[in-house]
Amino acid sequence: MKLEILHELNAERAARRPVILVTDTESGEQRLVKAKDFATDPLRAELEKQLRMGRSANVEAGGKKLFLNVYAPTAKLVIVGAVHISQALAPLARSLGYDVTVVDPRTAFASPERFPDVPLVAEWPDTALPPLNVDPYTAFVAVTHDPKIDDPALLHAFERNCFYIGALGSRKTHAKRGDRLRAQGARESDIARIHAPIGLAIGAVSPSEIAVAIMAEITAVLRLPPKEKEEAA
């Protein structure tokens, strides 16, 4: 690999931007494709597919055999609310490779005893969230049922363009949430991004089942192409 390409690659990874190194396996020629250039690249379909899957792969295009080396940021999961669902969700997400953080100002809930080995931030969202560097490779769930905690957290998730935003509550609860968020400046397009009721509709009842439904929905948003996401929903 040329030193110039290596420097660019490291810079993109440090900034948590996905990048793919394309190598001609016969000639050894290499080029780096940054996220901002995916849409106009001749290999757009192949690049987007492998990025969604988070896997490197051999492909054939234009009569050439190419190896696509995918460098995708480690996905994060920020859970706002140290509730029973979160106790099941945090270890499940970690088993799937997510960097997990739980945020809840209520110290009676956000305790190491309830969340062993999980990073906890026992602060209000306005203080807790900015240092977490929430970004487009972050899934964000709000499950406290307390507007004083969930609403500012959701507004932060909108600003940071999280790839998944979910919130606990019935359709009636979500309608009231939407009214509150609009009053605080949220756009209709922001509110439409919230998955609520949260999780795939699998008939989940217990906290553990709801956690499975949430992670299934997050996985679908991360991995499936747009049409298949709609079908899964």
What residue ranges do the domains of the chain occupy?
Answer: 3-71, 76-232
Render pLDDT for 164-204 as a digit per residue (tens, 0 to 9). 999 999 999 999 999 999 999 999 999 999 999 999 999 99
- Indicate the range of 11-20, 29-38, 175-184, 218-227 predicted with least confidence: 218-227
Q: Tell me the average pLDDT of the chain.
A: 93
Do 198 and 145 contact (CB within 8 A), yes or no?
no
Q: What average pLDDT score do residues 96-111 get?
A: 96
CATH superfamily of the domain spanning 76-232: NAD(P)-binding Rossmann-like Domain (3.40.50.720)
Q: What is the pLDDT of residue 69?
A: 95
Give 115's Cβ-side CA count (13 Å radius). 28
Render pLDDT for 62-88 as a digit per residue (tens, 0 to 9). 889 999 999 999 999 999 999 999 999
* Distance from chain centroid for Cα 204: 22
Q: Tell me the pLDDT band of 151, cut-offs 50, 70 and 90.
A: very high
For residues 114 and 14, give the distance between their C-alpha atoms in angstroms, rounded to a whole number: 32
Q: What is the pLDDT of residue 90?
A: 97
Looking at the chain, which runs of residues are DSSP E strands?
A: 19-24, 30-34, 57-61, 64-71, 76-80, 99-103, 120-121, 138-142, 164-167, 194-195
Q: What is the pLDDT of residue 62?
A: 84
Residue 183 vs residues 155, 157, 179: alpha-carbon distances, Å: 11, 17, 6
